[in-house]
Structure 1
């Protein structure tokens, strides 16, 4: 059984007081896991990497780390001062033949140049992140500015390392080849799928179709109940109170949601007050 390196338990993070980016979610990272992190822009992918690296503090929940855990984050934007630190350390590591082979495979054969291009700086930072003595490596768009040979070297290195990795990448073919699982961020929730990106897509299709069917049945139920109320039935009678309770219960359900704050259009009701904090209903 693989060791649990890090657990975020029932955690929440708010970017506004009343709007959680993550709402009471739990995430467990295990030894040697390679997770692709996917979700629409603005869903919180980079923020989650910052939370795991402890650059960002959660507002609620528990952060449980294994003993001697070390994390390294390679973000899309890197400060020049950080690169200078990387470079001085790189020169030391370059003396080792095994490390030097990795540098050369990434197209870096000279660390004493006075001028490095943006792509070269990116490669050097990536190599240093890989060689760092960390347990968890967090990569935000690592394939940017990589040529084909460097991309192949990165794929090979990720597959062979025992490090736990979480990777944000728009290169879905890359995720398909290197990831053992996919973590989806959607509407403040986390969905973890075991398997590569292709199997995740199949699973998501099934999950989405299931939610669509459940939503369809739910909407049909609500329409029937509105018609029942409009028919003039005496809702105060004991035998009908259970049916009304069921109606309100279904209105408040979240299990069928696909998108945040859905809108359901129902026939106009003669005299029925509907209260819901989760749905917008046009009457």
Structure 2
């Protein structure tokens, strides 16, 4: 079924158009990612599709049976109403029945009135609403939404985002057979388990999707097409993110070639135009028109966004940060329990864990804005922190972008002794010359976050603390940030739910497991998830084995007689003893190598994989040795 047709769409604010004469189609079942630099018209295009804005020119046709639903960054909630009332705000019998039943059975509501509960159950039976209720419970549970009678106005921004997501998923799952779901950064404020669940949910649901996201693994998992807004034009790429990058690179190479050709043609045509007498009117009209087209193409400036900065970092001494026996709790929530760690030069550490386990508190303790309950945190005298927090950019008064950056410093020092000006540094982070004189108040949310990040890097710190740096950043900015951080020589501590970003940058992880436990995992996030799944599989197998043993009937008298050990089994036991001893030695050596921190990434990857294999072999062979020792 054909959902949407867009033809010749143009929209401008002021002289420069956001996009000009763009066209595309959306068919039923399409899952499309919309990619563009912040401030280039993504949000405006989405608002036009929703009917909230009108284009300057062009047509938008949406099938009469299609309902457009959008998950927006700003949520239209009634603050004094409960979570339940905001989610089920439609006047619909099934919604009303589920809302009533969930209200009565909510864990915070206490013991329900038996008569009211019986009536609610009867109403659910009558409307055949149980299947949909189980789906509602799954969505609310997976998004960690509980205490349904709580007023939405009392929730944090992240909690409100999850409630908005739940509402959208519940709405599309119930009423609308043909729905175009538009999602603007749906993974912000979700932990990784929630993101993985949402990937699976959207993949299983028969939903037509237009998605704006910076999460490249999420994009790859969910979408089968990418639309890119670039310099006012729309480019469409079928396939995954890797295919998009390859085809975009090819297109840009062809653009450079065509611009060079246009410049040569322009020079010839300019010479011809100048030779023509001004009074003559017989000049070729088509040739004049062609001249102006060629002139426009020839004057196109290819911006090299891949400028590499060999940063002259502030000197970092031998002592960086030492954490000794650090304890921290908030009431019953234990964040750290005797945490010990000494940071080393050039470390890139990712911090992961579920929401609410204390990741941000850990960063605040390092930065000195929170104090531990006990223990010591010793920060070296040469450490200069660069703190990118979720609070965002703080500006006392409105000023132009270039004035704000120059207020920090006029130039950025490089390792070779040269300097990059504030204007050049701004261009690196995709603020072209004309944008640099824009007032900060006129920037989009994503552009303000980009400027905030840039202002921190421009201060030239040697220890970066990045708390969710990828939220609301566009993919071109993320690519530049990653390149910058890969060349950065200082220490980096990152809290992020962006798996692609973490995999690309970190060497090891602090995994906050809850109850004050922090695991130091040697590897990136994908390797950790693979290890975690292996551990869950082993636990599941052990549980099944335990259940199997419990179900086994007691042995008879003859069966209880001790079995003699065969010669073959004696030899096997001796061999196992030698192998276990060798494996223990190898494990200690690998532990020592990983603890020293002197390995390259490839060596660390190989060592972490091998130590996992050694642990599995120790478990397997140790279990067999125990079986044989019982016979002996």
Normalised-by-shorter TM-score class: 0.7 to 0.9
Range that drifts further, 207-216 or 59-68? 59-68
Does residue 32 of structure 2 align to residue 21 of structure 1? no
**Larger Rg over CA atoms:** 2
1:208 aligned onto 2:247: no
State the alpha-carbon separation in 1 of the partners of residues 242 and 84 from structure 2: 37
Q: Distance in 2 between matches of 1:32 and 1:85?
A: 34
Whether contact under 8 Å (2:77, 2:86) holds in the other structure is: no
Equivalent of residue 211 in structure 2, options 167, 183, 204:
167
* Structure 2 counterparts to residues 236-255 of structure 1, below 5 A: 249=290, 252-253=293-294
- Say whether residues 1:184 and 2:233 are aligned partners: no
Per-residue deviation, 1:112: 2.0
Counterparts of 2:189 and 2:219 in 1: how far apart (Å)?
16
Q: Separation in 2 of the partners of 1:179 and 1:84?
A: 35
Q: CA 1:225–1:191 in structure 2 vs 1: closer, same or farther (change >3 Å)?
A: closer
What residue number does 2:68 align with? 71
Q: 2:37 aligns with which of 40, 44, 48?
A: 40
Alignment of 1:259-278 (within 5 A): 262=300
Aligned counterparts of 2:289 and 2:74: Cα–Cα separation in 1: 49
- Please name the residue that 1:12 is paired with: 10
Deviates more, 1:142-151 or 1:115-124: 115-124
Superposed CA RMSD in Å reads 3.3
Once residues 160 and 212 of structure 1 are traced to their aligned partners in structure 2, the CA distance between those partners, rounded to angstroms, is 42
8 Å CA contact 1:34–1:180 kept in 2: the answer is yes
Distance 1:181 1:77 in 2: 26
- Alpha carbons 2:78, 2:86 under 8 Å: kept: no
1:126-176 per-position Cα deviation (integer Å, ceiling 9, x unaligned): 011122245111111111111111111111112122221111112222212
Query: Secondary structure at the residue paired with 1:262?
Result: coil
Q: Tell me if structure 2 keeps the 8 A contact 1:76–1:141.
A: yes
Query: Which whole-Å deviations, capped at 9, do the CAs of 1:54-96 have from their partners, x for residues lacking one?
Result: 1112222222121222111221122442895874153645750
Alignment partner, residue 149 of structure 2:
112
Please give the per-residue CA displacement for 1:92-144, whole angstroms capped at 9, x wherever unaligned: 45750122012111112331234433222111110111222451111111111
Distance 1:248 1:189, change over 3 A: closer
In the alignment, the residues of structure 1 paired with residue 232 and residue 79 of structure 2 have an alpha-carbon distance, to the nearest angstrom, of: 31
Give the 3 Å change call, closer, same or farther, for CA 36–170 of structure 1 in structure 2: same
Post-superposition CA distance 1:213-262 (Å, at most 9, x none): 12223334445667x77xxxx878xxxx999x8697355238967xxx62
SS state at 2:32 partner: strand
8 Å contact from structure 1 (residues 86, 128) kept in 2: no
Aligned to 1:102: 139
2:140 matched to 1:142? no
Counterpart pick for 2:166 among 116, 120, 127: 127
Unpaired runs of 5+ residues, structure 1, are 265-283
Q: Which secondary structure state, in structure 2, belongs to the residue aligned with residue 81 of structure 1?
A: coil
CA distance in 1, matches of 2:55, 2:289: 34
The alpha carbon displacement at 1:23 in A equals 1.6
2:83 and 2:148 in contact (8 A); partners too? no
Q: TM-score, normalised by structure 2?
A: 0.36
Corresponding residue SS for 1:76: coil
Paired with 2:45 and 2:83, the residues of 1 have a C-alpha distance of: 24
Matched residue pairs, number?
Answer: 251
More helix as a share of residues: 2
Structure 2, gaps ≥5 residues long: 89-94, 103-132, 303-632
Bigger Cα displacement from structure 2, 98-107 vs 7-16: 7-16
Structure 1 residues 84, 50: CA separation in 2 closer, same or farther (over 3 Å shift)? Answer: farther
The answer on whether the counterparts of 1:74 and 1:138 sit within 8 Å (CA) in structure 2 is: yes
Question: 2-side partners of 1:198 and 1:121: how far apart?
Answer: 33
